[in-house]
Structure 1
């Protein structure tokens, strides 16, 4: 049974790599200037999708089955509290001092009264969560988004977003856990918890979108632009 399981996993990985290396995904005649490497991105999207369906999604479904709604919410709150640490730093880099103060208050309140963040006490105290990251900081500084990129395992990103991946690692408290076992376990738990929270959304997208790749790309780029301009982006005549 073990040999059959390993063989099946190997077949899935080989099939996924074929999609990436072939780069033969179908693209439309129209070339979106925001997505100059669409062929590669579609291949990488296919690889991530195969990996998700074969491994990540089943793990997320199992995780959601064995955890109650309150436990699931508590774990999401815990990782959300850790994210607020990076948000403090990026708000300071953007000179959003009021937002930074709110995030500092959230971390202090949720880490203490909220039992390391498992209970989101700060939201009940009207301390708003801002979720600023380094990609948004670069955008605020005037750095362009750059080309759309689909990263292996991580999914949608951009030229600017790649820097956020690197800086985000160093502003994440989990990165400083000395034990490799616990650091990797926490990172894996966060990934599975995040995927579990998106199960319903991904199902709707798969059913509704004619081209899931294009849908996710456009949604990601629009959201990131909206984030950089704090919900009030300037009009873009080319894509209105």
Structure 2
């Protein structure tokens, strides 16, 4: 029993590191419209990020762990993993997120997005060898990411202050609550402690995602904390507002030119 508890804690730390590495800086940051959940971007930095001093300390802590552990492992993974296999692993885990996308599309009363998520999961699972080939995108059925943080924003829940969480990285009270809820929607979320193979799969997911982000590191410049915060706030406003544009008062013109492509 003690061994199961220990392994569960290890999995939690690894999955959290994945969120830190991929949750903000490597996602496409699109301009969006300052309505509903995006309103926070119009407020002064002191109001959006009132805990900046503490957040910066946590950011350095997360960065140290990433530099000393996760990034070296991810670099080794890139060195030995053939490109087609790397893409197949990424596609497989992305296919599983369609379950989350479908559920949250339903919660947000987005019938079309729910149909797209169901269609993508079906096509990729049946015709894409269990999800290793993204045939849905080939059929011009691109992913429409939806999570429970977006669902809460859709129904008018305020984001709250920007937070940099240990291991979990950039977040806010609304998105952290959404992350916890989404974990319950992932396949086998309730029986992670029952099969060691599932731990191996989750660890592979973490390493694969971090490895995919390594090329994006070249686009980051200046103050890393500010860059991640700007990217996170704009990305979340973009997703919650379904792609409508919003101006980010934190970002300079140079920052806007450095926004990273989504993997």
**TM class, shorter-length:** 0.7 to 0.9
Q: Structure 1's 116 and 40: CA in aligned 2 closer, same or farther, altered over 3 A?
A: same
Of 208, 217, 224, the match for 2:229: 217
Question: Are 2:209 and 1:197 aligned?
Answer: no
Structure-1 separation of matches of 2:228 and 2:210 = 15
1:183 paired residue number = 198
Deviations 1:19-72 (A, max 9, x none): xxxxxxxxxxx9531111112211111111000000000000001111011111
Q: Structure 1's 181 and 141: CA in aligned 2 closer, same or farther, altered over 3 A?
A: same
Question: Are 2:123 and 1:130 aligned?
Answer: no
2:159 paired residue number = 145
- Structure 1 segment 27-46 matched on structure 2, within 5 A: 32-46=46-60
Q: Structure 1's 212 and 238: CA in aligned 2 closer, same or farther, altered over 3 A?
A: closer
2:35 paired residue number = none
| Structure 1 stretches of at least 4 aligned residues deviating more than 2 Å after TM superposition | 176-180, 233-240
Q: How many residues are aligned here?
A: 208
Q: CA deviation at 1:126?
A: 1.7
Q: CA deviation at 1:151?
A: 1.7
1:48 paired residue number = 62
SS in 1 for 2:65: helix
State TM-score, norm by structure 1: 0.81
SS in 1 for 2:244: coil
Gaps of 5+ in 2: 1-43, 253-263
2:243 paired residue number = 231
Which structure ranks higher in relative contact order (CA pairs < 8 Å, sequence separation ≥ 6)?
A: 2
Q: CA deviation at 1:154?
A: 1.9
RMSD: 2.0
Which protein is bigger by CA-based radius of gyration? 1
SS in 1 for 2:46: coil
State TM-score, norm by structure 2: 0.74
Question: Contact between 1:174 and 1:186, CA under 8 Å: does it hold in 2?
Answer: no
Structure-2 separation of matches of 1:222 and 1:161 = 14
Question: Contact between 2:157 and 2:174, CA under 8 Å: does it hold in 1?
Answer: yes
2:101 paired residue number = 87
SS in 2 for 1:150: strand
SS in 1 for 2:160: coil
Deviations 1:3-33 (A, max 9, x none): xxxxxxxxxxxxxxxxxxxxxxxxxxx9531
Structure-2 separation of matches of 1:204 and 1:153 = 23
Structure-2 separation of matches of 1:71 and 1:38 = 40
Structure-2 separation of matches of 1:193 and 1:236 = 31
Structure-2 separation of matches of 1:215 and 1:36 = 17
Structure-1 separation of matches of 2:249 and 2:223 = 23
2:132 paired residue number = 118
1:6 paired residue number = none
